[in-house]
């Protein structure tokens, strides 16, 4: 869900390329002949699933790709997209199931294309990535073991990125980026989108608690680069075996690095917990399995653990408030924008009503069960 720092400025910047125009881009920029193309869901960029035809010059390699056209605001920060692309390649080389980034005919990772809308010239950064196999985990019944593996994956990803170096890496310090978890208080200017409601009251309370109990402890958290969006549509899985009790799955793809920024280890695990709760039939138990997996790679400190509850609540608030705001800007994209809201408000209210101590007891007890080898 690649999204920029200022929501309001992006109200009218989402690309609107037709399938014919997108096909022409693939051919002119990347030199590939398109045999089939169809749009993919997206937040404020534009994505297409592209199938290519073999030619006498191209007889091997992938035949399926994703064309990514960044919105005009994101296209003004090419160094950010460059770093994201290099991270995707770095992680793939390290063994993670990320896409390959295809080079243009001019041997670049991106190309800036301009279109004339009649009233102005708009410029968009274009990339082509290989298409990854699998189904979003939102579409399958997710087991405790898979939750553990996803938590472990999140920890390994952050740990591996400690070794990543790039001269423009500092561009990931996105201070006003609305999706960085430390920026929960920035939601205050979008609360109007909730009207006067119980939901708004909860978000307001979370923001106040967040200011007093999380922001004051940021100096005690360990910093790292976060993927920042390991949600149930950005992690792909494939079945590895079928058994009477059902298929066993493994992660086959990690998508969408558009929300990457400097954050903290505890941010990554909190974001992952929140998104894994969305489709779960027992959402309050999700956190313990994800936490156990993450801590098998990066054990949290007591201060980090103590902030986990409010961080998960904060991420629910970010997702739900920004979705409500974005729906007012883009009502035509409501179905995609409101995916989290279908269950998210219910989960947030349940967590908030139970309180930190009761939720933590479930999470931490479940996580401890892995120490004894008997996962709950």
Same domain? For 171 and 265 the reply is yes
Dihedral sign computed on CA atoms, order 103, 86, 90, 308 = negative
Same domain? For 230 and 339 the reply is yes
Three-state secondary-structure class, residue 5: coil
Same domain? For 96 and 233 the reply is no
Per residue in 90-99, pLDDT (tens digit) is 999 999 999 9
Residue 207 lies in a domain: yes
Residue 6 lies in a domain: no
Residue 366 lies in a domain: yes
Same domain? For 81 and 205 the reply is no
**Domain total for the chain?**
2
Q: How far apart are the first and last CA of the chain?
A: 32
What pLDDT score was predicted for residue 196? 87
Same domain? For 220 and 303 the reply is yes
Cα separations (Å) of 60 from 53, 64, 98, 128? 11, 12, 20, 17
Give CA torsion, residues 368, 371, 375, 376, to 10 deg: -20
Same domain? For 317 and 181 the reply is yes
Distance from C-alpha of 1 to C-alpha of 43, rounded to nearest angstrom: 5
Q: Mean pLDDT, to the nearest integer, of 235-256?
A: 84
Distance from C-alpha of 145 to C-alpha of 126, rounded to nearest angstrom: 37
Does the pLDDT at position 371 exceed 70? yes
Helix, strand, coil % (nearest 5) of the chain?
50, 15, 35
Of 93, 109, 130, the residue at which a domain comes to its end is 130
Six-digit token pair at 4? 């920029």
Q: Which domain holds residue 263?
A: 135-372
Query: Is residue 195 exposed (0-12), middle (13-18) or buried (19+ Cβ within 10 Å)?
Result: exposed
Catalytic positions, written as ranges: 229
Same domain? For 245 and 359 the reply is yes
Residue 5 lies in a domain: no
Residue 3 lies in a domain: no
Cα separations (Å) of 277 from 9, 20, 131, 132, 284? 31, 39, 26, 24, 7
Q: Judge contact between 318 and 178, C-beta under 8 A.
A: yes
What pLDDT score was predicted for residue 62? 81
Same domain? For 48 and 193 the reply is no
* pLDDT: which is higher, 149 or 117: 149
Per residue in 112-127, pLDDT (tens digit) is 998 876 677 889 999 9
Residue 11 lies in a domain: no
Of 130, 156, 175, the residue at which a domain comes to its end is 130
**Residue 36 — left, alpha, or beta (φ > 0 → left; ψ -120 to 50 → alpha)?**
beta
Residue 69 lies in a domain: yes
Q: Judge contact between 319 and 344, C-beta under 8 A.
A: yes
List, in order, residues 6 or more apart from 96 with CB less than 8 Å away.
Answer: 156, 157, 160, 254
The model's pTM is: 0.90
For 230-278, the DSSP string reads: --TTTEEEEEEE--TT--EEEEEEE---TT-EEEEHHHHHHHHHHHHHT
Q: Judge contact between 291 and 266, C-beta under 8 A.
A: no
Could you give the maximum distance between any two Cα atoms of the chain, in Å? Answer: 66
Residue 228: which CATH number? 3.90.1200.10
Of 105, 130, 155, the residue at which a domain comes to its end is 130
Does the pLDDT at position 330 exceed 50? yes
What is the band of 338 on the pLDDT scale with cuts at 50, 70, 90?
Answer: low
Distance from C-alpha of 254 to C-alpha of 133, rounded to nearest angstrom: 10
Per residue in 223-243, pLDDT (tens digit) is 999 999 999 999 999 998 766
Same domain? For 225 and 348 the reply is yes
How many helices (H) and strands (E) are present in the chain, helices listed first?
A: 10, 10
Of 4, 273, 7, the C-alpha closest to 150 is 273
Six-digit token pair at 12? 């009218």
Distance from C-alpha of 370 to C-alpha of 58, rounded to nearest angstrom: 49
Same domain? For 160 and 122 the reply is no
Residue 140 lies in a domain: yes
How crowded is the C-beta side of 285, counted as CA atoms within 13 Å? 11
Distance from C-alpha of 137 to C-alpha of 62, rounded to nearest angstrom: 24
Same domain? For 125 and 222 the reply is no
Residue 33: which CATH number? 3.30.200.20
Distance from C-alpha of 319 to C-alpha of 278, rounded to nearest angstrom: 11
Per residue in 57-110, pLDDT (tens digit) is 665 668 899 999 999 888 999 999 999 999 999 999 999 999 999 999 999 999
Same domain? For 256 and 368 the reply is yes
**Residue 134 — left, alpha, or beta (φ > 0 → left; ψ -120 to 50 → alpha)?**
left
């Amino acid at each position: 869900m690649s999204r920029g720092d200022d929501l309001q400025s992006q109200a009218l910047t989402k690309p609107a390329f037709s399938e014919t125009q997108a096909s022409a881009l693939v051919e002119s920029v990347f030199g590939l002949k398109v045999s089939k193309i169809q749009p993919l869901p997206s937040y404020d960029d534009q994505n297409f699933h592209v199938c290519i035809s073999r030619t006498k010059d191209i007889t091997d390699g992938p035949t399926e790709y994703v064309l990514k056209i960044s919105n005009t605001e994101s296209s003004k920060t090419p160094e950010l997209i460059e770093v994201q692309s290099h991270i995707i390649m770095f992680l793939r080389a390290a063994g993670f199931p990320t896409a390959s980034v295809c080079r243009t005919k001019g041997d670049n990772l991106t190309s800036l294309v301009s279109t004339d809308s009649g009233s102005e010239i708009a410029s968009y950064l274009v990339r082509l990535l290989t298409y990854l196999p699998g189904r979003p985990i939102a579409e399958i019944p997710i087991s405790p073991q898979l939750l553990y593996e996803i938590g472990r994956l999140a920890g390994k990803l952050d740990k591996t990125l400690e070794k990543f170096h790039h001269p423009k890496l500092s561009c990931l310090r996105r201070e006003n980026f609305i999706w960085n978890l430390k920026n929960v208080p920035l939601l205050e200017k979008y609360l109007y989108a909730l009207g006067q409601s119980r939901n708004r009251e909860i978000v307001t309370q979370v923001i106040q608690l967040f200011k007093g109990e999380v922001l004051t402890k940021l100096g005690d958290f360990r910093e790292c680069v976060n993927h920042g969006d390991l949600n149930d549509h950005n992690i792909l899985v494939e079945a590895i075996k079928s058994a009477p009790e059902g298929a066993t799955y493994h992660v086959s793809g990690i998508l969408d690095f558009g929300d990457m920024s400097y954050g903290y280890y505890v941010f990554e695990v909190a974001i992952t917990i929140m998104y894994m709760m969305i489709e779960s039939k027992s959402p309050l138990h999700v956190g313990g399995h994800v936490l156990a997996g993450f801590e098998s790679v990066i054990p949290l400190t007591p201060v980090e653990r103590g902030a986990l509850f409010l961080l998960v609540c904060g991420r629910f608030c970010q997702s739900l408030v920004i979705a409500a705001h974005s729906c007012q800007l883009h009502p035509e994209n409501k179905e995609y924008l409101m995916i989290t809201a279908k269950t998210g408000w219910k989960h947030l209210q349940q967590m908030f009503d139970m309180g930190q101590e009761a939720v933590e007891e479930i999470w931490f007890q479940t996580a401890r069960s892995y120490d004894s080898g008997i996962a709950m």
